[in-house]
């Protein structure tokens, strides 16, 4: 079972890292899954993940405050808006742009509705 948790942690970490740069791919949920899986399979990888200078703050902010950092919120909204703009420039089918806009609007609303961590957190 330990190998299964390790595999889940590795895949979730890869997805979380992808989420840092790809729109519609969430970062924090994947990193939380990875931390959970690594806690059950590899204390060394768990410690590495939660203390990582780039990835750790996502986990800490969410665990301690249910929060998403201000910079992360801005980046997420800008990337979502840019993605929609690219679709419009590329003349993507209107129904697809509408679907994309609805999903991005919901994702943006969720991100913006989360509190920001206190200034002394992250």
Helix pair 43-51, 56-65: axis angle to 10 deg? 90
pTM over 0.85: no
- CA atoms of 43 and 22, how far apart (whole Å): 28
pLDDT of residue 10: 96
- Mean pLDDT score, 44-58: 92
Band (120; pLDDT cuts 50, 70, 90)? low
With 0-12 / 13-18 / 19 or more C-beta atoms within 10 angstroms meaning exposed / middle / buried, residue 79 is: middle
pLDDT digits (tens, 9 = 90+) for 65-113: 989 888 888 888 888 899 899 999 999 999 999 999 999 999 899 989 9
Q: How many helices (H) and strands (E) does the chain have?
A: 6, 0
Nearest to 72 by CA among 34, 120, 33, 110: 110
Task: Answer yes or no: are the C-beta atoms of 121 and 64 closer than 8 Å.
Answer: yes
Band (122; pLDDT cuts 50, 70, 90)? very low
Examine the pLDDT at 121 and tell me if it is beyond 70.
Answer: no
Q: Going by C-beta distance under 8 Å and a sequence separation of 6 or more, which residues neighbour residue 17? A: 27, 55
Task: Answer yes or no: are the C-beta atoms of 50 and 72 closer than 8 Å.
Answer: no
- Mean pLDDT score, 9-13: 96
Spell out the domain ranges in the chain.
2-65, 70-113
């Amino acid at each position: 079972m330990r190998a299964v948790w390790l595999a889940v942690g590795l895949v979730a970490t890869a997805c979380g890292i992808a989420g840092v740069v790809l729109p519609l791919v969430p970062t924090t949920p994947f990193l939380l899954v990875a931390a959970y899986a690594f806690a059950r399979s590899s204390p060394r990888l768990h410690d590495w993940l939660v203390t990582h200078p780039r990835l750790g703050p996502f986990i800490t902010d969410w665990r301690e405050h249910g929060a998403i950092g201000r910079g992360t919120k801005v980046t997420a909204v800008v990337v979502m808006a840019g993605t929609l703009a690219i679709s419009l420039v590329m003349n993507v089918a209107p129904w697809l742009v509408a679907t994309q806009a609805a999903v991005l609007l919901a994702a943006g609303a969720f991100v913006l509705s989360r509190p920001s961590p206190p200034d002394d957190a992250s």
